[in-house]
Structure 1
Amino acid sequence: MPSTYIKEVVLEDFMSYEYSRVPLKPGLNIITGPNGAGKSSIVLAIAVAMGQTYTERSRRLRDLIRRGKNVARVTVVFDNRPVNGKRPIPFSRKDEVRISRYLRSDGTYWFEMDYKPVDKAEVVYRLSRLGINPNNMLIIMHQGMVPEFSRLSPQERLRLVEEAAGLHEYRERILSAREKLEAIVSEEESLKELLSKSERTMGYWEEQYRRLLEKRELRKKLKELRLELAWSKWNLQLKNVEKIGARIAQRELEANKWKNRLNEAEKRVKEAREDLNRAWEYLEEAFIELSVEERALGRVEASSKESIKDAMKSVEAARAKVEALKSSFFEKQEELVEASVERAISEFRLKMIQSEISRLKRKLSEARQKLSELESEAKSLGPKVETERSPDEIIQEIRFTSARLSSLADVSDDTEQMYLNYSKMLEELKEKAKILAENKRAALEELEERSRLWRRKLRSLVNEVNRTFNEILERLDAKGEVRLIDLDDVEQAGLRIFVGYRGAPLAELDPFTQSGGERTTAIIAFLLALQRQMKSPIRVVDEFDVHMDPANRERVFEQIFEILKEAGGQSIFVTPRRLVGLKGGTHIIVVQNVAGTSRIREVS
């Protein structure tokens, strides 16, 4: 992509300027003039227009307004003419892009870009797309910043170099990857803690769910037991009905037997009564006959012994007959009594059995009614269950099951949903943990890869800078080295500069070891060595040569001309000293203060 440059800086009521247009060109621009002429004001105007934070911290912006004025404006005009059909500043279709900043005496300010109001953030963003960071002292180095550079920590120096060379994105990508990794690690730790809590909670709900399943199983078993009990009671009642029926049948057989015996007894009574009646009749006849014989005996003459004897025989025979009939009568009477007793006993036993049969039939009817009720009750609970167990056995098991069920009364029916919810959540957390672990691995690989790329780019950059740095210092009777430190930690990584003059050993550049001229020479040599690597199309340095001796200053200028010509881009150097050894192609601006107003003159 073609590079832009600052075509012009316009200062209006800014510091010692009323209205001045400072023309600038690609390549090397030197602004010179006596002290107090207003040279540094041009550098300050460029920085203010670009929104440099340093200028806002170091002084009040309203103090930059020319005395007696209420508003000041500084404008930086960038060249945007197409090169090979492409514009250096792609977001604009104009040949010039103007960035202006207005300052008011009440302390307020605002920006314009091509005469349209914009905020500072947009200005900073647009410049960053061009590789320009006005807050980087390697791009805009104000008066006094050269010694300040020596006071920077190695970490601060490295960040400035990275940004100036366009490598800051590699650092930002590392920090972004590390931030991403830290976020993943933090999320993973939080997830692990949540997973641990969830597993403990899940353990509780697993136990509760196991108890719920047991409770459901016991409920099911209790239902089955109650069904079995109902049919067991029915079975028992059925057996009772059958038993009663069997007893009735048995009693009916006995009743029939006693009926037969009663019939036989009645028949015997009848026969015995008839026999007794006949015996009585025979006895009466015998008594009559005896009476007749006795009377006949009384009528027999005593003189007739034969007749008496015969009569006596007849009486004896009649008496014997009577006795025989009496004996027979008594036998018949006894037989009648026995038959009557037998009949009474048979009749009594028959009545008892018939009474029992009636009672058993009533009992059977009740038993059948209860059997029907038990069958209806059992059917209402479920289909018939074949069981050999007695109701007492089943009731015992029901009591045991009910007792176990009572111990699970605290288990809510919502337990299953809670268990399923936690189970699902736990699975989701475990899946998320797997994803996080994979993301962590990928993020770690990404961080390591970005870190390797950053280190490789830095080492390549520093090797180039180191080579040029030594080449420049050798021409100034010195030697130096640029070292990278702690590259394993992007936050602690830094850049150290070592320099030695006139054969002295290398010493780290700091505000105390070297003289002011030596420090300035080393820093300018470092800046020049960095020029080929810088991405910013512009560099501005204000009064870098204040502490240099004339010989070193002349040699440094030679290096400036040579290196900047090769590096390209636009460089703006400010010096109050007399210019010596200038080469063609150098654009010179002379600044003078006339009656309190700075004026510029372009030297051809």
Structure 2
Amino acid sequence: MAAKRRAVSPDSEGESSSKRARTTEDSDEQPTRSQRRRGRDKPEDDRVELEDDEAEEMEQTEPNEDDEIRFEEEHEEEIRAKVIGGNKVQGNIAEMGIIEKLELHQFMCHKYLEFTFGPQINFIIGGKSAVLSALTVALGGKANVTGRGSGLKSFIREGQGAAEVTVTLKNQGEDAYKYKEYGDSIVVTRRFTKEGSSSYKIKSKSGKVISTKRDELSAICDHMNIQVDNPMNILTQGQLLFRLQFLSASQPADKYRFFLRGTQLSQLSEEYSTCMENISQTQKILTSKSEMIPDLQQALKDAVRRLEEAEKAVEQQRKVNELKSELAWTHVAVKEKDLRTKLEAVAKCERNMKKIQEELDKAEKALHSAEEAVTQREAELGSLGDIQDLHVKRREKNDAVRANVKRISEVKGEERTMNDSMKALNLQIESLKQKITEEEIRMAEFTQGKRDEIRRKLDDANTELKEAEDRLNEIKAELPRRETESKDARAKLGQLKEKGDEVKRKIMNIKHQLQLVNEGEKNQLAPFGNKMEAVLTEISRTQWYGRQPVGPFGRYVKVRDPDAWAPIMRVQLGHAMSAFAVTDARDRRTLEQILKQHNNKPNIFISEVDIFDYSRGEPPEQYLTVLRALEVSDEYVLRLLINSSSIERILIAKTRADADSMLMQLGNGGVAWTADSYLVTRFPEGGGRSSLLQRIDRNSTDPRLQLFTSGNLQGERRRWEQELEQAEREYREMGDEAKSLKIAADTADKTFQSLKVSFTQATQRFREIKHKRDALQDEANVETPVGISTLQDALKEAEDEKELTKKQFAQAEQKIAEINELQHPLMEELAVLKKEIDDFEGRRNQTTKLIEAAVGQRLQAQGSKTHYEKKLVEEQVKLDNAKNYADIVQDELVDWTKAAEMINSTRVETRRTVEEVERNLKSVKAALEEQEKRQGASVETIVEEVNKRKSALENARKELKMMVSLNKSLRKSIKVRLARWHEFRRHIALRCKIYFSYHLSNRGYFGKVLFDHVNGSLQLKVQTDDLAGTQGGGNREKDPRSLSGGEKSFSTICLLLSLWESIGCPIRCLDEFDVFMDAVNRRISMRMMIDTANASDRKQYILITPQDMTNITIGKTVRVHRMTDPERGQGVLAFT
């Protein structure tokens, strides 16, 4: 059935009417049993008739002209009073939806332009029409709406590649949009480029980017009722000129359509029209459905007739029913046996579950014990402390030993001097003995001439003795100074040599690290072991029982901030970075052999792949843990590090104090590593401790120094090369200095030794001269020749001095022995210190091995726990499946029992099997089917068909009745909404008339807006003040086309202000509103707009004028922006 409809059109606004079917339901009598069996009575025709009452229900929806006149008479005075009274009341400031700030970057001819708008009235003096274009673009409007360009690219400043517009929307009050996310303001930034791309950034007041989607901007505009594309909200310069021309040149129907679009009434009308079309289409579908009911009724009649004919085979069917009953209860017995089997399987799974749970409990206890062991071993490692004091003591003892060695060297130098003296004394003794022999010969030859000669020799001897004594005293005075110079030079040379050896070792270590870096550039696996690429290649070629081994762990681990945390990570996790992991214990030995072939001995973990949730072990997000400082790309490696090192709960901090403070804040104890190499522990029951970790010497060859670098190997190489260059320069400088010191030391030694020899020689010469002088003196005193006794006395004195030198030598030997005695305990102490240091290193290594063993046990326990948990889950699945199967069988048994009871409520006991009963039933059915062939179907089929036909008829009637009722309700709802729409249109039109007349009166004009809602037209009539005097009492109203330019502009402003009162958008923007106005019209228009804006509640006005406002009184609600001329490209015309 076709439905007639005339929808509300935005062009004509004609009456909306449509037809809708009415459903009349007859009594739903069902055929009685006798009717089905005997067919004596004929079923009533229950066909559903649908009447087309659409025209009746939609009548009078569109009011006529009398209704419009009556409405204006009833409400005009009331609305006029509200309008006049409302203009005297100061409007409130909007809490949301108004523009707080607008920024333009490289937009049109502006490099940068910023506006901070007031909450009510804003005048922009001096142009800047780009403001409205920027506002439209920023809030998602189309470029062609602005009238300043066909696309966004046309708004980009000449010579620039992109432009950006930012608008700040107020977002306060109870209805603020997502206040918790955005705050008091929403900042929308739109950026577009020459290439045509455009993007949004929607930020909170604090500058945080909340969204970059256009849908979020649309949601914000919808929430704040901002209608960017509404032609009434933002009128640019071009749009306003168009409206002026539109006012004078357009037809009444065009003005009416503009009125509907500006007030959003046309959009609502179109949506109602769509709803009416859908309702009418539904009506057609229901009409076609109603025509199917007679066919269903006829089908039911035919099925009932066939059933009556088939009931003649009742006796044969009774036998079939008995066999069916027996077969049904036989199936029940079989299902009961099946249920017992399933229940036994459930009991077996429950027993297995109990055993697995016991094993799981054991594994959990073992895991707890292993975790305690790891914690205990780690605590033992922390309690070991450090051995820095032992190293200091060893250096002190070494210094003492070197001092003793130096003293021994000095004493041995004295011994060498004594040996030289002994040689001189031996020569002297031999000489004296020879002289005694010669004296004995000269005894007989002594004369006076000899005595004179003795006197002369005595004088020469005294002079020579004086010279020898002066020389001896001079040497004796210079000897200590030369000795000190020699010792100091040798000490400086020794110290410099030690420093040089240390720098040389540093150079070798740096070269080693530089070699590792160079290898790392060629092979990123170099820091993790020897020939690691070959190891991984062989691993990939090998067949494994479980998954292919994973490793080394360092391939998957990076430090997010290497400068801050890499040193402590190298100490605590460095060894783990070379580790591998296998999922099957049988693969461990194979992997060990591959690693040993390439001289690698890393740790090997054995653990199944278990990607468990570790979030429960993590502290709150504000605490930085080892895990949060790392970036682990493999989830399996991440879980192994969590199990082995608890990286998800260990905190890291800059200093020990920071770590202790963080652990105290947590309140439940914990462990922290610090960047200054401390292990800080805080116990849950209170108290704690901290121990210094062993740092990795940067000058050592430890390969862990190459771990956790920033990834910039070239920069790392440059750093090592700079250190190498500095160390080599320092070593060269030390070499030059050592050469100078050696020359100085050798010179000092030679001078000292030469001086000692000179001292010995001077001493010997002094003695010889003194003995000679004494002998000559004695000989001169007795005036006798020197006798043998004098020479013998000299010989005795020389021999005594020789004995004294021997004693001194013996004393020197004793002194060396004493020094050696002192040296022996020092060496023993050094041995003890070395043993203590070695013992400490041994204990630490042993503790480390114990920790590794404990970690391995923990991993093994974790693997056992995971294994039994997995087995428990699997067994639980089996148990659940067994229970499900048992429940299914139980449900089937219940269903089959109910089905059997429906066939025969009394249980039929039989010893026959299902197959036997089925064979008997089959033979009986065969006989029955032979009879049914004549009927064309079985009795059950015919009964089933009757029930289906009946159910189909009832369902069709029921559904049709429900849909007809629903369609009626929808049509009534649309009718009510259309009535409200017409009522709303009346109110808006009447308010527009009153406001238009009121605004014209500010200039002394008279005018009115003529609405014809029936024919969809709008006309303006304006009477200016000059017409009153020239036309007398005639018709003083005239068409807008006959108005002057200023009068048209003023009339347009009046109409625009009138329509603005009907719009819910919180902002109104108008560009060059005073175009074509004279000074009087402009002054009155501006005063009128200011008064209207002040009276408007929660509205913001942005008005642009190229002229000044010197003659306008500005209140506190008005903010005036006086702008300078924009920067435009200045060119020069080429004249010829």
Coarse TM-score class (shorter-chain normalised): 0.5 to 0.7
Residues 160-180 of structure 1 show CA distances to partners (whole Å, capped at 9, x for unaligned) of 3424xxx78xx73x7656644
Please state how far the C-alpha of 1:76 moved relative to its aligned partner: 0.6
Please state how far the C-alpha of 1:506 moved relative to its aligned partner: 4.9
Residues 313-342 of structure 1 show CA distances to partners (whole Å, capped at 9, x for unaligned) of xxxxxxxxxxxxxxxxxxxxxxxxxxxxxx
Could you say if the C-alpha distance between residues 217 and 109 of structure 1 is closer, same or farther in structure 2, counting changes exceeding 3 Å? same
Residue aligned with 2:1125, SS: strand
Residue aligned with 1:592, SS: coil
2: CA distance, partners of 1:505 / 1:425: 75
Residues 133-181 of structure 1 show CA distances to partners (whole Å, capped at 9, x for unaligned) of 0111211111121343434824532333424xxx78xx73x76566445
**Residue 465 (1) aligns with residue 559 (2):** no
Query: Who is 1:107 aligned against?
Result: 196
Query: Who is 2:783 aligned against?
Result: none
The structure that has the greater radius of gyration is 1
**Residue 574 (1) aligns with residue 1113 (2):** no
Query: Who is 2:1076 aligned against?
Result: 547
Which of 62, 72, 78 lines up with 2:163 in the alignment? 72
Question: Aligned AA for 1:135?
Answer: D
Residues 77-129 of structure 1 show CA distances to partners (whole Å, capped at 9, x for unaligned) of 1233x45xx46545454222111111111111011111344322321221121
The 5-angstrom pairing of residues 443-482 of structure 1 reads: 443-482=970-1009
Question: Aligned AA for 1:23?
Answer: T
The 5-angstrom pairing of residues 163-178 of structure 1 reads: 163=264, 172=268
Which of 109, 112, 117 lines up with 1:16 in the alignment? 109
Residue aligned with 1:79, SS: strand
Could you say if the C-alpha distance between residues 50 and 436 of structure 1 is closer, same or farther in structure 2, counting changes exceeding 3 Å? same
Could you say if the C-alpha distance between residues 595 and 444 of structure 1 is closer, same or farther in structure 2, counting changes exceeding 3 Å? closer
Could you say if the C-alpha distance between residues 595 and 100 of structure 1 is closer, same or farther in structure 2, counting changes exceeding 3 Å? closer
1: CA distance, partners of 2:212 / 2:1021: 45
Residues 37-61 of structure 1 show CA distances to partners (whole Å, capped at 9, x for unaligned) of xx11111000100111253695111
1: CA distance, partners of 2:311 / 2:202: 80
| CA RMSD in angstroms, aligned pairs only | 3.6
Contact preservation (8 Å) 2:303, 2:946: yes
2: CA distance, partners of 1:414 / 1:548: 92
The 5-angstrom pairing of residues 292-331 of structure 1 reads: none
Residues 491-524 of structure 1 show CA distances to partners (whole Å, capped at 9, x for unaligned) of xx85624122334655676xx5655544432221
The 5-angstrom pairing of residues 113-512 of structure 1 reads: 113-114=202-203, 115-149=209-243, 150=246, 151=250, 153-163=254-264, 172=268, 179-196=274-291, 198-219=292-313, 409=936, 414=941, 416-486=943-1013, 494=1016, 496-502=1018-1024, 503=1027, 506=1037
Show structure 2 runs of 5+ residues with no match: 1-93, 204-208, 319-923, 925-930, 1028-1034, 1131-1136
Residue aligned with 1:526, SS: helix
Which of 1087, 1092, 1095 lines up with 1:563 in the alignment? 1092
1: CA distance, partners of 2:945 / 2:1003: 82
Residues 174-219 of structure 1 show CA distances to partners (whole Å, capped at 9, x for unaligned) of 76566445434422321321231x3243144224313322331455
**Stretches of 4+ moved more than 6 A in 1?**
221-224, 410-413
Contact preservation (8 Å) 2:108, 2:158: yes
Contact preservation (8 Å) 1:28, 1:564: yes
Please state how far the C-alpha of 1:525 moved relative to its aligned partner: 0.2
Please state how far the C-alpha of 1:418 moved relative to its aligned partner: 4.7
2: CA distance, partners of 1:409 / 1:88: 75
Residue aligned with 1:106, SS: coil
Question: Aligned AA for 2:1081?
Answer: N
Paired positions, count: 400
**Residue 30 (1) aligns with residue 123 (2):** yes
Please state how far the C-alpha of 1:572 moved relative to its aligned partner: 0.7
Could you say if the C-alpha distance between residues 111 and 194 of structure 1 is closer, same or farther in structure 2, counting changes exceeding 3 Å? same
Could you say if the C-alpha distance between residues 14 and 417 of structure 1 is closer, same or farther in structure 2, counting changes exceeding 3 Å? farther
2: CA distance, partners of 1:515 / 1:428: 73
Please state how far the C-alpha of 1:457 moved relative to its aligned partner: 2.6
Question: Aligned AA for 1:576?
Answer: P
Contact preservation (8 Å) 1:481, 1:498: yes
2: CA distance, partners of 1:431 / 1:467: 54
Could you say if the C-alpha distance between residues 111 and 425 of structure 1 is closer, same or farther in structure 2, counting changes exceeding 3 Å? farther
Contact preservation (8 Å) 2:1011, 2:1019: no
2: CA distance, partners of 1:2 / 1:117: 22
Question: Aligned AA for 2:1022?
Answer: G
Residue aligned with 1:189, SS: helix
Show structure 1 runs of 5+ residues with no match: 225-380, 382-401, 488-492, 599-604
Residue aligned with 2:101, SS: strand
Could you say if the C-alpha distance between residues 541 and 208 of structure 1 is closer, same or farther in structure 2, counting changes exceeding 3 Å? same
2: CA distance, partners of 1:563 / 1:113: 33
Which of 185, 201, 212 lines up with 1:96 in the alignment? 185
Residue aligned with 2:979, SS: helix
1: CA distance, partners of 2:1012 / 2:187: 41
Question: Aligned AA for 1:579?
Answer: M
Query: Who is 1:260 aligned against?
Result: none
Question: Aligned AA for 1:570?
Answer: Q
Contact preservation (8 Å) 1:177, 1:446: no
Deviates most, 551-560 or 478-487: 478-487
Residues 344-378 of structure 1 show CA distances to partners (whole Å, capped at 9, x for unaligned) of xxxxxxxxxxxxxxxxxxxxxxxxxxxxxxxxxxx
Could you say if the C-alpha distance between residues 185 and 436 of structure 1 is closer, same or farther in structure 2, counting changes exceeding 3 Å? farther
1: CA distance, partners of 2:168 / 2:182: 14
2: CA distance, partners of 1:201 / 1:445: 32
Query: Who is 1:328 aligned against?
Result: none
Could you say if the C-alpha distance between residues 215 and 520 of structure 1 is closer, same or farther in structure 2, counting changes exceeding 3 Å? farther
Query: Who is 1:596 aligned against?
Result: 1128
Please state how far the C-alpha of 1:69 moved relative to its aligned partner: 1.6
Please state how far the C-alpha of 1:415 moved relative to its aligned partner: 5.5
Contact preservation (8 Å) 1:25, 1:587: yes
2: CA distance, partners of 1:122 / 1:593: 36
Query: Who is 1:279 aligned against?
Result: none
Please state how far the C-alpha of 1:406 moved relative to its aligned partner: 8.7
Please state how far the C-alpha of 1:462 moved relative to its aligned partner: 2.5
2: CA distance, partners of 1:181 / 1:79: 39
Contact preservation (8 Å) 1:531, 1:567: no
2: CA distance, partners of 1:481 / 1:415: 80
Residue aligned with 1:213, SS: helix
More strand by share: 1
2: CA distance, partners of 1:110 / 1:412: 74
Contact preservation (8 Å) 1:470, 1:480: yes
Contact preservation (8 Å) 1:6, 1:24: yes
1: CA distance, partners of 2:1036 / 2:216: 48
